[in-house]
């Protein structure tokens, strides 16, 4: 299939291109578009056939439900049966923004979207290109991250193009994504909100408006074979480059010592090191993701893809505990490493 590329870095002056992309959505096609977190692969949320095509284009298992993207709160009313109190607070405080809220699903939402669950995930992106597209389509847009299933999520147009050109109807060539990791997913159906996937909006941010918050255990622990996780996506291998990733976690000095040892032990391999400190290494490929967790989050997926491009066999990723986006970074690192974590 020929993929139409539409360059839209801002909605202003690009109204006719936004209209063209919205028309593709309305006629049942697939459009990849930028958001403030990562690029999404969108289809009309009410069109079951189009939703099935999302799963096909990504090679995504059909038991992993999708997030519905809205551009105004009226759209929310059509998607959920009723709004739990916590959902209202989270919407008022954090939407539009990098958060996804799980609420009870209405009958209007096709079962293919939620993979048969009685709940639905809803997100109101703050990115202007994303919200203009949804507004022009005038329907909620179902969209997973616009990567091939299992690959790191795309944070630039180039990543989407590499994964999906020829597999989807249209890709919007927008700006690089600001956050770099996917939205915080919060189950708001119970008395206490549960964070199913950490993101740039942190447990501490949520605690400012709702006193108690739980972080689901599968955020950091691997899902065992006989377990059904609350967030179906958790059981799949995720965010993985082709290289074999190891997380080396501890204080910066001990991490340096251990990675030096690992480099000399693996001298027959092409080694990449992802550093978030001043440490330097004798590795073929060295990528510094910056000294704050926001910067680490922003560059994480780009860096993982870069290691593959440069032919790394093995990647050692530095990690030291911290605040803010630290939990989001740790969760993605653990998953991309298949939970191979060396504590020093």
Find the part of the chain contacting Mg ion (CB under 5 A) among 92-100, 138-146, 215-223, 247-255. Answer: 138-146
Q: What burial letters (b/e) apply to 137-148, b meaning 16+ CB within 10 Å? A: bebbbbbbbbbb
**CA distance linking residue 107 with residue 81, whole number of Å:** 8
99 is a contact residue toward ligand TXA (CB under 6 A): no
Per CB under 6 A, which of residues 142..161 are in contact with ligand TXA?
143-145
198 is a contact residue toward ligand TXA (CB under 6 A): no
State the DSSP string of 61-81.
-TTS--EEE-SSHHHHHHHBS
Helix count and strand count (H, E) for the chain? 11, 16
Question: Which among 176, 187, 124, 129 is positioned nearest to 154, based on CA atoms?
Answer: 176
101 is a contact residue toward ligand TXA (CB under 6 A): no
Largest distance between two CA atoms of the chain = 59
Find the part of the chain contacting ligand TXA (CB under 6 A) among 65-73, 160-168, 218-226, 276-284. Answer: 65-73
240 is a contact residue toward Mg ion (CB under 5 A): no
Closest residue to Mg ion, based on beta-carbon distance: 145
Please say which residue, 37 or 288, places its beta carbon nearer to ligand TXA: 37
x-marked contacts with Mg ion along 88-127 as a string, rule CB under 5 A: ----------------------------------------
CB atoms within 10 A of CB 291: 11
> Is residue 292 exposed (0-12), middle (13-18) or buried (19+ Cβ within 10 Å)?
middle
List interacting residues with ligand TXA (CB under 6 A): 35, 37-38, 40, 64-67, 100, 102, 114, 117, 119-121, 123, 143-145, 182-183, 185, 196, 230-233
List interacting residues with Mg ion (CB under 5 A): 145
């Amino acid at each position: 299939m020929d993929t139409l590329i539409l360059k839209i870095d801002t909605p202003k002056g690009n109204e006719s291109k936004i209209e063209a992309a919205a028309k593709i959505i309305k006629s049942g096609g697939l459009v990849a578009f930028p958001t403030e977190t990562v690029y999404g692969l969108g289809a009309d949320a009410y069109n079951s056939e189009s939703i099935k095509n999302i799963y096909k284009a990504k090679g995504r298992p059909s038991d992993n439900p999708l997030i519905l993207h809205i551009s105004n709160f009226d759209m929310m009313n059509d998607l959920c049966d009723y709004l739990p109190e916590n959902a209202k607070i989270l919407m008022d405080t954090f939407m539009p923004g990098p958060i996804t809220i799980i609420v009870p699903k209405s009958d209007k939402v096709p079962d293919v979207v939620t993979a048969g669950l009685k709940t639905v995930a809803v997100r109101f992106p703050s990115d202007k290109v994303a919200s203009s597209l949804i507004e022009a389509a005038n329907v909620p847009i179902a969209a997973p991250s616009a990567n091939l299933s299992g690959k790191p999520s795309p944070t630039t147009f180039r990543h989407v193009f590499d994964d999906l050109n020829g597999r989807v109807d249209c890709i919007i060539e927008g700006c690089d994504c600001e956050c770099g990791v996917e939205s915080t997913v919060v189950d708001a159906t119970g008395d206490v909100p549960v964070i199913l996937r950490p993101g740039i909006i942190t447990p501490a941010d949520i605690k400012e408006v709702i006193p108690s918050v739980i972080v689901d255990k599968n955020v950091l622990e691997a899902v065992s074979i006989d377990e059904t996780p609350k967030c179906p996506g958790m059981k799949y291998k995720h965010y993985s480059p082709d290289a074999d990733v190891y997380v080396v976690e501890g204080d910066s000095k001990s991490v340096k010592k251990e990675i030096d040892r690992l480099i000399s032990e693996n001298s027959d391999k092409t080694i990449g090191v992802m550093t978030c400190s001043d440490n330097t290494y004798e590795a073929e490929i060295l990528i510094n993701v910056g000294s704050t967790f926001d910067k680490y989050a922003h560059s994480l997926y780009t860096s993982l893809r870069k290691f593959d491009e440069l032919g790394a066999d093995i990647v050692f990723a530095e990690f030291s505990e911290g605040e803010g986006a630290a939990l989001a970074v740790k969760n993605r690192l653990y998953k991309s490493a298949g939970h191979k974590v060396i504590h020093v």
